[in-house]
Structures are given as C-alpha cells and as structure tokens.
Amino acid sequence: MKEKLAQSLADTFNRRSFLNKASWGLGSLALGSLLPSQLFSNPAERIETVPNRAPKAKRVVYLFQSGGPSQLEMFDYKPYLEKMHGKDLPASVRKGQRLTSMSAQQSALPLVSSPYKFTQHGKSGAWASELMPYTGKVADDLCFIKSMYTEQINHDPALTFFQTGNQLAGRPSIGSWVSYGLGSANQNLPAFIVMVSKDAPQDQPLYARLWGNGFLPSKHQGVQFRSGNDPVLYLSNPNGYSSADRRSMLDALKDLNQVQEEIYGDPEVSNHIAQYEMAFRMQTSVPEVNDLSNEPDWVFDLYGEEARNPGTFAANCLMARRLLERDVKFVQLYHQGWDQHGNLPKSITKQCKATDQASAALVQDLKQRGLLDDTLVVWGGEFGRTNYSQGKLTKDNYGRDHHPRCFTMWMAGGGIKRGITYGETDEFGYNIIKNPVHVHDFQATLLHLLGVDHEKLTYEFQGRRFRLTDVEGKLVKGILA
C-alpha cells in the first residue's frame, strides 16, 4: 500500500509535471503584473464610472480656515458700511433671517465698517485689504467666490457639512470620498493626508471625524501628519525592534488575517492588511518627505520664517507642496482661530499675519514648479461673519457673529479661471445678489475638476446609495476654465 502511494506521488510530481504546473504559475504572475492593480479588489469597492472624464486637476490642497473668517475685513469691500457705521441693521436687509443665540437678544445690531484699507490688485482688479498683502500679489492667479452660503449657523454642524456634505456626524469626509473614488498615485504614501496648525488659537475644537472615512472602507480615512520626530503616530519601530522584525511580524499577521477573511468573508480584514503594508512602506517614505534639509533658503524666505518651525501653518504649507510633488491626491490643512466674536481687530491681524504669506507662497511655489495647472488650491472656512457688531461697538474694538448667508472663498489652479471674482453681495455685505454658490455646489465642482461626476460617485450603505452631495449640488460653470 505504501509503495503504491509513493509511486502515485512520484507520478504526480515528476519533472515534466512540475515544469508544466510551474509554467502556468509563472504565466499567471506575469499576467497579473500587466493587469490593473484593482482588478481583483473587493467588487463592493470597485467603481466602474470613476473618473468620468479627463480631470483638470490631479490633486487638491484645501487650506481650511476653521472658525469663520470675516470676509468684510479681507476681501468683500463694502464702502457703504462706512456711511452706515454705528447705525442699526435695517429690518429690510435682515429680512427676518435667523441669528445665533449670542446676538439674538441684543437691543440693537450696529453696523460696522472695516477699519482696514482696501486696494485693487493685479490686472484683475481684485479687492483685498491691507491684512492680505501677499494674497493680493497673487490675485491674478485666484478666483474669488464672494457668494458662498450655507444653512448651518453654528460651528460643529457647519464644519461637518463642509467636510462631509451632511451636518450630522458619521458621513465620509470629502478627502475620503476622493481617496475612494480615485485611489492613490503614490503607493508609499496615503491618498489623503491632514495637518493641523500647532500654535493657532483653539477657539473651536477639531475632531478626527472631520477627516474620517465614515462608512467607507477604513483605508480611505485621512492620515494626520504631526510636527516632531514622529509625524505619524505609532509608525516608528520600538527600541530594539528592527525593520526585519517588523516585516516578519507583518507577514505572520497577514497570514492570520487571511485565514480570518476566508472564514468570515469580512472585506474590512483586507483593508487592515493594506493599512499595515502601507504603514510599513511609510517608515521609509515619511522620513524622506519630512526632511527639509534639501530646501534652499529662498524657499523658506518665500513661505516666511515660520516655515522653519515644524507644525506652524507656514511649515504645513511647505510640507503640503512636498506631498503634492509626490502625487498625494488630497492634502488638507486646518488652521483654527477665526471665531472672533469680540476683540476682532487684534485677533484677525494675528491670524492674517500667520496665514497670508504662506497661502500665497504655496500658489507661487506650485506655479513656478509647473504644478499649479493640475493642482486645485482651495482657501476658506465654514461660514462668514456678520456686518454688525456682536456686543458693544467702541471706537477701536468690536466683534462679529456667525453669518452663513454670504461669505468669501478663493480657489486657484487646475481647471479654475484665473483672475476673476464670482458672485456678489449687497452694499451691506449681508445678502447675495448675484450667482449664489451653495456648499454642495462647491463640492460638486471640486469633484468635477478631478474628473468625477458627483452624482455617480456613490457608496451603498444600509440599503441606500450615498454620495458627498446627497441629493443636491450643481456645477459652478462660471468659474471653470
């Protein structure tokens, strides 16, 4: 019996049989290397319609100014407010619109003109105040949208709405949608990276769910880069633990996870495997991108002296350029401190000093490196500020409350018209009178520039197909190049 079994095995694994079977295996490996890497991915994740057209932008950097920057102090010049300074907001202008609880009980709503000088810049003649001299210098590369609006009047729902398309927490962030729809062009870095300014006033909290993946697979969650020796938490090996040790551990963990996936059929297991492998590759790629020793002095002069201080807004803008050079798909910077209900003149002066030069430098730097044409740059917050003073108005001090009815953002780069101002507010700076742009319109346009139809980028969850723009959103065609 043993002899028959041995002979059978010998017949099965003879030299000719071995070479025949091996040739099939090698052929399969060769074929697999020629096919798209996502061909055999989880069918639930595969998107047949993305991208829908040739993209104008290949990557995005979103400079989010958290807290609601005052458009009236920076970009939306309203000389009529100088005549009306100190007078009560007319009921015919307010039109019964909702106020926050912080100013709803005021006996009067005194109008406030900006104390800062406004001038026109470049061939476009765009208005910018003396608080934004560097942004003014690049005005001909920018598209100012002065007619943004949202329904959300308080920070948390307004922030969440801008980042996820819904005022309630739990939906995927805009960067996660881009990662899900378009994937990554760099296999050694995440498709979606987030940085938060370390020294900005933290008047309003930021939550990791703002760059979370929601119900999308976990590998699409934004990865936060921090200042310091370890930009990504838990990425470095512990003391006494080598790269070879980490590789051996990951191989063993991968085998265990694959067994679990085969038993339970949970697609999230494969996402965990992919994340572990990405983390291993990032042990080499992150230190390289974080090393600024090869940046010349003129680059630091361009971004400002704070660019030498890791974790500041200026340093994060420089880091963003380095990530974009390496084809990271979506880079988002958060800078807090714009919630100026009181003491606005002093506070906004500090905020603009911390952000103006670096924001403009990023546009200039991308342009001179030939990256601006296919990189979309976005600057803006979750809403604007009122034209009246919250609290007491004095000769040299005032504050402004939240104002979702109209505010200003700017965009530049891939697929955006340069040197234009889109939309218009009334002479009081309180209502939109031309070309309103809703948050969902902005989101739909951003995806369009990336080559994606916002109505087709969907994900089925709990029996319903969801998308970033929910059931709304239209292209803002007037800003498209």
Q: What CATH number did the domain enclosing 420 receive?
A: 3.40.720.10
Q: Is residue 43 part of a domain?
A: no
What are residue 371's phi and psi, to 5 degrees?
-105, -15
Phi, psi of 315 (to 5 degrees): -65, -35
State the pairing for strand pair 192-196/330-335: parallel
* Alpha carbon separation from 61 to 317, 332, 376 (Å, rounded): 9, 6, 6
With respect to residue 50, please indicate whether it lies within any of the assigned structural domains.
no
CA distance 191 to 214: 16
Do β-strands 400-403 and 407-413 pair in parallel, antiparallel, or remain unpaired?
unpaired
- Domain membership flag for residue 426: yes
Tally the domains of the chain.
1
pTM: 0.85
Asked if residue 47 belongs to a domain, the reply is no
Residue 239 lies in a domain: no
| Residue 478 placed within a domain | no
Q: What is the pLDDT along the chain (481 residues), one digit of tens a residue?
A: 445 444 544 454 455 554 454 454 545 444 444 444 444 444 444 444 466 778 999 999 999 999 999 999 999 999 999 999 999 999 999 999 999 999 999 999 999 999 999 999 999 999 999 999 999 999 999 999 999 999 999 999 999 999 999 999 999 999 999 999 999 888 889 999 999 999 899 888 999 999 999 999 999 999 999 887 777 766 677 777 777 766 777 777 777 777 777 777 677 777 766 776 666 576 777 778 889 999 999 999 999 999 999 999 999 999 999 999 999 999 999 999 999 999 999 999 999 999 999 999 999 999 999 999 999 999 999 999 999 999 999 999 999 999 999 999 999 999 999 999 999 999 999 999 999 999 999 999 999 999 999 999 999 999 999 999 999 999 999 999 9
The pLDDT of residue 36 is: 45
The pLDDT, as a whole number, for residue 254 is 74
Q: How far apart are the C-alpha atoms of 290 and 292, rounded to whole Å?
A: 6
Residue span of the structural domain in which 127 resides: 60-230+298-463
- Return d(Cα 312, Cα 332) in angstroms, integer: 14
pLDDT for the residue numbered 40: 40
Residue-level pLDDT at 16: 53
CB 84 within 8 A of CB 426: no
460's enclosing H/E stretch is strand 459-461
The CA distance from 194 to 224, in Å, is 5
Q: Is residue 188 part of a domain?
A: yes
pLDDT at 41: 42
Confirm whether 168 is domain-assigned: yes
Number of helices and strands in the chain (H, E): 14, 17
